[in-house]
Structure 1
Amino acid sequence: MDMFNKVTAFLQQALETREPSINLLESFVDHWKAITNYYIETTDESRAVKNTDIPWRLRQMLDILVYEEKQQGEEAGPCMEYLLQHKILETLCTLGKAQYPPGMSQQVMVFFSKVLSHIQKPVLHLINVYRPVQKLINLCGLPHSQTEKEESQFLFAVCTQVNKDPYVLNYILEIKNDSLKRSSSTSDEAAEKDCSGSSSPERASSPSSSSSACSLLSRSGAHPVSSPQEATGMIPVLLHLEKSEKRRVAHRSLESLLLLVSSTQEDTGHLLAERTPLCDLLAQRLTELYLLIPSTIDPADIHSFSVVQWRTRFTQDSTAESQSFPGSENVYRFFCFLDLCNELIKQAPKVLGVKMARALHSQWLKGVIQPHLLQMSEVGILVHTTLLSCSVRHIHSPALLEELVQFMLGSDTDSETRQHLHTHLLRYRLIEHCNHISDEISITTLRLFEELLQKPNRRILSNLVLRNLENRSYKLPGTGASDERLRVESDLLDESEELEEDPFFPDMYDDSGDSNHEPLLSLPNVRERLNPNLHTQVVDTVNSGLTSSCTRVTSSSSAKVQFQYSRLQEQRTRKTSWMCS
């Protein structure tokens, strides 16, 4: 029993003995000081960052921040406050720009991405966060970059935060209320001031700013690297990464673009439409892909090209392989990007979607396709008419469809006359191509109109059909005496069927006798008798036209039967008189 009590007491004492609590702030500061000491003590400038302990220490700092947030709840912990007050993110951004040690920018982008994605509380609106984020965005999109994967992850994390809180887009795009975006020269001057040690009042309270990073670099003998950039700003960089040969990079960049524009706030739409090059860059990229399609491509291959979605470019290979023909890869990439533009226009706020659709109209439809459709080369007309027909099949966003209808048919709504034939040259030329000397062009153009008529747009049917029926006069069905007359004439036709094939009267169906029908009612009178509902007006107008045509044919046929019958009676009378004599 004594032994049992001793064992129990020993176990209780062991359980009550606790590890001394770890001071998170001290550990966080130690890791940061170890990173800064590396730049003071090292002498090997060629040593890669992955061969140092910098990546491990950055991971430890991130883990501490995440753990602290879980423990603190709503309030910011001391480690996060230390990160912000000592401008650690800005210092890391400067070290990444210097690429010292080699590969440092890759580690910095990974750290930024994980901070933005793992920290649950919003931090992107804080100046000590969004300023280094702005600078790091300007480091993306460098020519021959080896960090495309990290750049795409970083930008995806930024766009995710913007999608959650669209207001921070003002900070990310560096837009002020009283001016447009800052020029690159202003950004360069600000960076020089940071490295020279001059600080604004916001920086005066913290000596550990990017100037400390400059001093660290000067002690280690390294200097910031300045390289020419192909793209500056988040949107140009995203469209630059879309061209990457790495599918995951291109896919993530386009997903980031969708996150950026898919905001329900109209203010964000105005911001992206008026103060960013998004619309022009999208139209420019679509035009570039269109021009890469070879002019020698077989139109039959384009007609057989099925509708594609932009995500299939990154998830499936079977679609492209099943439609393999010379130039198929260029056609496939063009239609994938066209589907992306459709998706962007549908997801974006209305003002931004309309602006993007108009940019595509101006640069792609009117700037590239129209000159090819109006050219004299039959081969060029055939290829580009086929491409436009397949493009119509792929377009499904309402705003872009409106611009397509405006491009092909114009906005005229009045009944056509001979003076109107040249008001919209492209529409007139396409209608002419339906009766082209080349059967291939005629068939292809008819397919184009067939694709257009299948689109759910009221202006298409109105422009091509109804505008030419509105002001015409048609006989209204159900007008009393005319119905009785029509019934009598039908009976005459039934009784005289044996006379239709009489060889003595081969001109029975000559249309020259169509002069005895009644004057037709004018359309205003028809409208007075019809339901004022627009749909009913359209249906009755078409039905009146069909009824009028049938009435004219019936009236003409009945008159000819009566004329034939009278001539036959006269002939029989003459024959009887001759036999009697």
Structure 2
Amino acid sequence: MFSRLACALYNAVDALAPPLPLHEEFSRHWTAIRSFYTNKESSCWLPVEITNIPDHLHQMACILEQEEGEDETDDAHPCMEYFLQQKILESMCGLARADSPPGIKRHIISFASRILSSVKFDLLPHVSVWSAVHKLAKMCGEELASPYEKEEMDFVFFLSNRLMGDSHLFNHFICDTYRNVSQKSCNSANTSQDGTTEVVIAVQKMDIPLLQSLITFLHSPDHDISSKASDCLVKCAAAFDEKTMNILIQQTEFCCKIVTFLLNQYHEVKRHSSFQDIDDIELFSVHSDENNSSDIHLSTGKRQILSFVRWLSFFDNLVGAQSQLGENLQVVFSDLFLKEEISAELADLENSDKILFTTKLISLCIHSISSEILILDFGIFLVGNESNPELPGGMDHFLKQLLINRCNETTSSSKVKLATLQLFEDLLQKPSEEVMESLILRNLTGRKYYDYLFVDEHIYFSDDEVSCQRKSLYEELDVSPGSSPVSRTFAPSSIHKILNCFLLLLPDELKSCEENDDSAYDVYIKDAHRQFQQCLLLCDEWNWPDHPGFDDDDTDSLVSETSDSETEADATCTFFYEGSFLDMLFCKLENMLQQPYELNLQVTSLISRLALFPHPNLHEYLLNPLIPLVPTARSLYLVLLKLVEDIKVSVQGVQNLKKKLELTRKILLNNEEGCNTFEESNVLEAIIVLEEFCKELAAIAFVKYHACS
């Protein structure tokens, strides 16, 4: 009490005295701080706020700013020279480390942040300053959720932004450390039974304390602190020069620490969350502020999922910040997260809840990432990157086959099948060329489904295909000067026949809409146009052809068209297999009458997504019912024809079929209750799904025709 009164009296007398020169005033404040520690009567265990130290630090910062403002030259001024010569910031680091009196660490860090940011004179290149800053950076983040966390984060945040302007300065913040590592040796007298013994040696490693502090702040329970730290790490990664990046990747544990941090978040999700929590989370809230008042009602499980996805988004940004770092992060992520954790969870054959949870979580992960390298990593992990044609019953990528079998198995629950199909669609929403090849195109690019020899026997076969067949195989289409080539695969002159194949597939008596009601078809055209344009952007840099590809064997068979009929007949018996993925989808279409409404919607949605892709082989196989097929080929249109025949059999004897269809349609479109009021409800729902699916396929074919003509 008396010391504070004496301080106030001292300040009052000081205010009446003539002002000292700035450099003397600056020296006086620093001397006062040192005197506190030499004075035996000082109470170093009391809070620093009771002392005059915070005020002296404040005045010192003000003097440095005032001095620079009065003289705008770039040279160091007297106070600044004194500050550097006396190594004041270096001395302050010792006081901050001791934190005596308690709380002085906060004020010293704030002082350092202030002068480094407000003083125009560049202090960092000076040895005494960067050495002190290095020590302060090392002190920050040593203790999680420390009482000085905000000041520490502000300091590290400023320092990170400052170093981004001079990336070479990062090298001054790298220090050597030594780690104890066990190695086996055979030269020791005390060897084990196998003739070896473990020897502990010290291995030199590198550390970047600034980054270590930021990693610590990631764990902060304060949302603002952790968000600031994640932003800093992404910006730092983008600013590193090649030397720093090589050290970071090769001689530090940065990548492993980041992936381990994400892995810990995933373990918390597994501990607290269920698949219902994933279902309840709306995608728009994934990136929202967890401290927002609207999220207060969220359960622990939902909050944990939101937290995990938030950190996955941070990881995704970090991967995309710098290619070399991204590649190394991806490798560690693939090993520790996908292969060690997710693979085992996904391959569980007994616990359906665990399967459902993991499948939905992977879908959520794919929704939340945008970096190409991470999207590709998920895709290859799930379906592989094989390019050789797939054989029926042959060995293929394990997880791909597991997921496809899960869709086919009668023992799998409808929820598991639905989640697995949704996972496939999510992969196709963010596709990669390798995933498309491994999942779908590898069995189509050879055009083995196409019957080159009996084109005249197909009365609905496109005239464009007949006239251009040989020309497209051996030479490019003639293009007049100034014109662009037209792909007859996407834009045949028989487009009206193709559209009618889909629009007239279902007889009028089996349609739930009134005759000549084209409003829904118009809506599908608008949606198809938007989705096709997005798909074109995704595939823009892919090396896909404009015309269907074929194997050399097919060319040889075409060249020998004039051979005897027996040889031709044998040639047409070439076996074609569409691949396990398309085979599964076609089987799902054929079984629509026995499947739940939601599952049928998902199957048709997935096929519609495939139909949007601008690969010529995939396009004609799915969207051109007029091409001639080898006898063993099963196309989308043929599957739909078979389904219509099954429907006709199923609805025989159904009373008031038209009215029941109209009522069922109204219930489905309005999400009303009473969907299963009829005994035939499952069949009625399947008919309506098929009706809309045919409109959607026609709309996609129409949009692609106009886009490519």
Q: Which TM-score applies when normalising by structure 1?
A: 0.69
Q: Given the superposition, is the C-alpha separation of residues 311 and 77 from structure 1 closer, same or farther in structure 2, using an over 3 Å criterion?
A: farther
Aligned equivalents of 1:355 and 1:154: distance in 2?
A: 29
Distance 1:408 1:525 in 2: 32
Partner Cα separation in structure 1 for residue 26 and residue 385 of structure 2: 66
Q: 1:548 to 1:555 in 2, by over 3 A?
A: farther
| Residue identity matched to 1:443 | L
Asked whether 1:182 is paired with 2:180, we answer no
Displacement after TM superposition at 1:104 (Å): 1.4
Give the aligned residue type for 2:24: E
CA apart distance, 1:542:
4.0
CA distance in 2, matches of 1:308, 1:265: 36
Aligned counterparts, 1:297-336, within 5 A? 297-307=273-283, 312-313=288-289, 316-318=292-294, 320-321=295-296, 324-325=298-299, 327-336=301-310
Shift of 1:476: 6.5
In the other structure, the counterpart of 2:340 is 367
Write the distance in 2 (CA, Å) between the matches of 1:241 and 1:544. 54
| Pairing 1:468–2:443 present | yes
Q: 2:421 aligns with which of 413, 433, 446?
A: 446
Instruction: Identify the range of structure 1 (544-553 vs 233-242) with the bigger mean alpha-carbon deviation.
Output: 544-553
Structure 1 partner of 2:45 = 46
Instruction: Please state whether the residue corresponding to 2:615 is helix, strand or coil.
Output: helix
Identify the residue that residue 383 of structure 2 maps to in structure 1: 409
Match of 1:391 in 2: 365
Q: Deviations 1:370-428 (Å, cap 9, x if unpaired)?
A: 11111222221111111111111111111211211221122222112358524x32222
For 1:153 and 1:522, the matched residues in 2 are separated by: 62
**What SS does the corresponding residue of 1:292 show, helix, strand or coil?**
helix
Q: Does 1:115 align with 2:115?
A: yes
What value does the CA root-mean-square deviation take over the aligned residues? Answer: 3.6
Offset at residue 450 of structure 1 (A): 0.9
State whether structure 2 residue 146 is matched by structure 1 residue 145. yes
Partner of 1:567: none
Q: Could you tell me whether the CA contact under 8 Å between 1:433 and 1:442 is conserved in 2?
A: yes
Q: Secondary structure of the equivalent of 2:46?
A: coil
Contact 1:389–1:448 (CA under 8 A) maintained in structure 2: yes
Please say if residues 382 and 400 of structure 2, whose CA atoms lie closer than 8 Å, have aligned partners that are also in contact.
yes
Q: How does 1:3-42 map to 2 (within 5 A)?
A: 23-42=21-40
Please, which of 396, 401, 411 is the counterpart of residue 428 of structure 1? 401
Judged with a 3 Å threshold, the aligned counterparts in structure 2 of structure 1 residues 486 and 307 are, in CA distance, closer, same or farther, namely closer
For 2:337, give the aligned amino acid: W
What is the alpha-carbon distance in structure 2 between the residues aligned to residue 310 and residue 165 of structure 1?
Answer: 35
Query: Aligned letter for 2:313?
Result: D
Aligned residue for 1:279?
Answer: 255
Aligned to 2:157: 156
User: CA–CA distance in 1 between the matches of 2:632 and 2:312?
Assistant: 54
Contact 1:414–1:467 under 8 Å retained in 2: yes
| Amino acid across the alignment from 2:33 | I
Q: Partner amino acid for 2:57?
A: L
- 8 Å contact from structure 2 (residues 67, 79) kept in 1: yes
Partner Cα separation in structure 1 for residue 442 and residue 316 of structure 2: 29
Distance across 2 between alignment mates of 1:34 and 1:431: 76
**One-letter code aligned to 1:28:** F
- Per the TM alignment, residue 22 of structure 1 is displaced from its structure 2 partner at its CA by 5.5
Q: Given the alignment, which residue of 207, 213, 232 partners 1:256? A: 232
1:491-506 pair list within 5 angstroms: none
In structure 1, distance between residues paired with 2:242 and 2:293: 38
> For structure 1, which segment, 64-73 or 305-314, has the greater mean C-alpha deviation from structure 2 after superposition?
305-314
Letter of the 1:109 counterpart: I
Q: Which has the higher helix share?
A: 1
Cα offsets for 1:137-192 (capped at 9, x unmatched): 23232256221111111111211111111111111223xxxxxx33499xxxxxxx
Pick closer, same or farther for the CA change 1:453–1:130 going to 2, 3 Å.
Answer: same
| Shift in Å, 1:28 | 1.4
Q: Which whole-Å CA distance do the structure 2 matches of 1:49 and 1:404 have between them?
A: 53
- Distance, in Å, in 1 between the alignment partners of 2:462 and 2:373 is 51
Contact kept? 1:96, 1:105, Cα under 8 Å: yes
Q: Deviations over 1:7-34 (max 9, x none)?
A: xxxxxxxxxxxx9986222221111111
Deviation at 1:441, TM superposition (A): 1.3
* Superposed displacement of residue 315, structure 1: 6.2
Alignment of 1:159-308 (within 5 A): 159-174=160-175, 181-183=176-178, 233-263=209-239, 265-294=241-270, 297-307=273-283
Q: Distance in 1 between matches of 2:242 and 2:462?
A: 63
> Percent identity over the alignment?
26
Per-residue CA deviation, residues 81-117 of structure 1 (Å, 9 max, x unaligned), is 2222211111100011112112111111111111222
SS in 1 for 2:405: helix
Asked whether the 8 Å contact 1:248–1:314 carries over to 2, the reply is no
1:562 corresponds to:
none
Query: CA shift at 1:310, angstroms?
Result: 7.8
Match of 2:103 in 1: 103
- Counterpart amino acid of residue 161 in structure 1: R
CA contact (8 A) 1:90 1:128 kept: yes
Q: 2:632 and 2:101 mapped to 1: Cα distance?
A: 96
How many residue pairs get aligned? The number is 447
Change (3 A) 1:52 1:451: same
- Residues 207-260 of structure 1 show CA distances to partners (whole Å, capped at 9, x for unaligned) of xxxxxxxxxxxxxxxxxxxxxxxx992323222222222233223322322332
Cα offset, 1:553, TM superposition = 9.6
Q: Partner residue of 2:328?
A: 355
Q: Could you state the TM-score of these two structures normalised by the residue count of structure 2?
A: 0.57
Aligned residues of 2:145 and 2:221 also touching (Cα < 8 A): no
- Summarize the Cα distance change of 1:367–1:31 in structure 2 as closer, same or farther, 3 Å threshold: same
- Give me the whole-angstrom Cα distance separating, in 2, the residues matched to 1:137 and 1:487: 72
The amino acid of 1:442's aligned partner reads: K
Whole-angstrom CA distance in 2 between matches of 1:480 and 1:425: 39
Q: Distance in 2 between matches of 1:394 and 1:291?
A: 18
Distance 1:325 1:412 in 2: 42
Q: Return the offset for 1:265.
A: 4.0
Unpaired runs of at least 5, structure 1:
1-18, 175-180, 186-230, 489-520, 530-534, 557-581
Tell me the distance in 1 between the aligned counterparts of 2:425 and 2:107. Answer: 55
Distance 1:317 1:35, change over 3 A: same
Whole-angstrom distance in 2 between the partners of 1:487 and 1:344: 51
Once residues 325 and 98 of structure 1 are traced to their aligned partners in structure 2, the CA distance between those partners, rounded to angstroms, is 42
Q: Paired residue for 1:573?
A: none
Structure 1 Cα separation of the partners of residues 218 and 286 of structure 2: 12
Q: Distance in 2 between matches of 1:552 and 1:138?
A: 70
Distance 2:340 2:74 in 1: 54
Structure 2 CA distance, aligned partners of 1:257 and 1:283?
14
Tell me how far apart the structure 1 counterparts of residues 264 and 624 of structure 2 sit (CA, whole Å). Answer: 52
Tell me what 1:543 maps to: 620
Q: Hey, what's the Cα distance between the residues in 1 that align with 2:344 and 2:50?
A: 58
Greater shift after overlay, 462-471 or 65-74? Answer: 65-74
Aligned partners of 2:407, 2:310: CA distance in 1, in Å? 29
Q: Secondary structure at the match of 2:309?
A: helix
Which structure would you say has the larger Rg? 1
Alignment of 1:515-530 (within 5 A): 523-524=551-552
Give me the whole-angstrom Cα distance separating, in 1, the residues matched to 2:75 and 2:131: 22
- 2:54: which partner in 1? 55
Change (3 A) 1:433 1:75: same
Does the Cα contact within 8 Å between 2:163 and 2:169 map onto a contact in 1? yes
